[in-house]
Amino acid sequence: MQIPIDWPGLALLIQSSLFYQLSALLIVSGVLGFIALQLRQPLIVAFIGVGLLVGPGLLGVIGEESSQIDTLAALGIALLLFLVGLKLDLSLIKALGPVALITGLTQVALTTALGFGIAYWLGFTPMQAFWIGIALAFSSTIIVVKLLSDSGAIESLYGKIALGILIVQDIIVILSMVVVTALGTGGPEVQIGWEVFALVFAKVFALLIATALFVRYVADPLTKSLAKSSELIVIFALGLAAVMAALCHALDLSKELGGLLAGVALASTPIRDMIAAKLAPLRDFLLLFFFLGLGAQLDLGQIGDQIIPALILSGFVLIGKPVIIMSIMGLLGYRRRTGYMSGTTLAQISEFSMIFTGLAVAAGQLPDNAAGLMTLVGMITITVSVYLMLFQDQLFSLIEKALGIFERKMPKYDEELSDSHKRGTYDVLVFGMGRFGLAMSSAFKKNGAKVLGVDFDPEAIRAAQDYKFPAIYGDASDPEFVKALPLKGVNTVVLAFPHHITGPFMPDIRMSFARTLREAGYAGHIAVTSHFRAAEKELKQNGADIVLCPFEDAASHGADHILEILENDRIENKA
């Protein structure tokens, strides 16, 4: 006997109880989240999909009006901005290299301008097109950091440049949120004049002064007195965020701005990292409901009308944004591969783009359907960009020749290589001037060898030069660069980096490097590092004749040293 399921009635029953609703949402989110992980997709995409599935257009677990979910989503955004403010350290700007700073600022400006043109062409008013252009300029820090970490490329040159650009974008998006949310919680854009802007920024300026005074005279002594209880610190932090949010709301500003300023007020205290660590899980839980809400707001009846604009904007983000970044980096003197890897790494919009769009809609600066449009763009670009990053190397090998237009005939760092020929010959070339490479270079130098360091990270080159080592820019994966090396007089070439730094989907650079050297007629020693002794045979078959296992060698040396100490102790005890 089949028992019919009254789904509309069951959906109403679930909606009638917040406990039932949360239980259903968490179960569905867990299932779709697991599926997303198997497809190598970030959870953001899964959670938006959950919202679409359980929204009023399909299963109806979330109704047309769901104040509880909206409240949890608002709390998630406020807490997110509080934690952003907590990490807002202006010294980051000083720490950024000029490449990241110049590329980041120029990329945001050009993407905003071109995005404005496309959005205006799609029928948005000039002010609306401006906000959409800004939203398209930002890339996802969460997704980029996760994928770079998984591939082991977070310390690579393009990884560092991408992270630097993301920091620039994060600072700009914070300022943009301050502006758009400061415009209030309503009112069409035609009502906004200079007098409104003046009043808004006067209020914001007063809040900034109050925050600065709190940081200067109150924050440190107050947090030190509360530091004995981590639970009390967290309660105090949340209370401060709530008070600042309420104050902003009373001033007809956004509550999210209050959360951001509360974070800034505690950013200089020594307990900020502890607060951030304790609140991060709560932030992630509450943001689940924000992305669920985005998915639930997607009107299935309007998706057909929005899909073409969403595809056009997505195409601009997936293709146009990388082209902009490659063009800027090419002009700055970087090779096509570095520009390509940096550009495709940032070929998506950010979770902040969707949050920013939602805030702009709430402030009356964008029409209601803009949130759904940007959500579709987010789902498309994030989904596609994940696979672009996973298969960056294969795609690059297919279009490498076409990307030649993004590279100078004489890249900046190749000029440095040309200058190196004038400085004489070398005994040893060390590729990779990290801690291991610097230590090996120091040992060679102590024994009278002339060492030339090579790296594809300008910061590593500067660090080597600080240690008085000649160092040049170079990419071991570029066969033309390898053939142009000053090999006359060199008896040993050392690759002081492991394979994982190049990513799991790229052919082993160590092997291709060794083969290219041998083909160029180099007959000296080639030493490569490996984290696994099992790779020794294959490395030697491809041209290397010395294989170093730093972890294994260090462990063996350390164990020998300990055993020597124990033996001396035994002899002394006998005596």
CATH of the domain spanning 412-558: 3.40.50.720
Order of strands across the sheet that contains 428-431 = 471-473, 451-455, 428-431, 492-495, 525-529, 546-548
Q: Which of 37-41, 103-107, 185-189, 203-207 has the lowest mean pLDDT?
A: 185-189
Instruction: Give the tens place of pLDDT for each residue, 59-102.
Output: 777 766 666 777 777 777 778 778 777 776 555 555 556 777 78
Instruction: Give the tens place of pLDDT for each residue, 505-526.
Output: 345 677 777 888 888 788 888 8
Q: Measure Cα distances from 47 to 285, 289, 508, 561 in Å.
A: 11, 8, 36, 53
Instruction: Give the tens place of pLDDT for each residue, 219-234.
Output: 878 877 776 676 787 7
Say which residue, 368 or 497, is predicted with more confidence: 368
Q: Measure Cα distances from 37 to 48, 122, 142, 379, 541 in Å.
A: 14, 34, 15, 15, 37
Q: How confident is the model at residue 419 (pLDDT cuts 50, 70, 90)?
A: very low
Share of the chain above pLDDT 90, in %: 7
Q: Where are the alpha helices (DSSP H) in 215-320?
A: 220-226, 230-250, 255-266, 272-297, 300-315
Instruction: Give the tens place of pLDDT for each residue, 468-477.
Output: 778 777 666 6
pLDDT score recorded for residue 183: 64
Instruction: Give the tens place of pLDDT for each residue, 299-311.
Output: 666 677 788 999 9
Contact present, 234 and 279 (Cβ < 8 Å): yes
Contact present, 133 and 113 (Cβ < 8 Å): yes
Contact present, 180 and 359 (Cβ < 8 Å): yes
Residue ranges per structural domain of the chain: 7-399, 412-558
Q: Does residue 548 sit in helix, strand or coil?
A: strand
CATH fold, domain 7-399, is Na+/H+ antiporter like fold (1.20.1530)
pLDDT of 11 higher than 70: no
- Mean pLDDT on 383-408: 83
Instruction: Return d(Cα 297, Cα 56) in angstroms, integer.
Output: 8
Instruction: Return d(Cα 398, Cα 100) in angstroms, integer.
Output: 27
- Mean pLDDT on 334-348: 86
Instruction: Return d(Cα 44, Cα 502) in angstroms, integer.
Output: 27
Q: Is the torsion defined by CA of 402, 408, 410, 413 positive or negative?
A: negative
Q: Could you tell me the pTM of the whole model?
A: 0.67
Instruction: Give the tens place of pLDDT for each residue, 544-561.
Output: 888 888 777 778 788 888
pLDDT of 106 higher than 80: yes
Residue 57 burial (CB count, 10 A): 19
pLDDT of 8 higher than 70: no
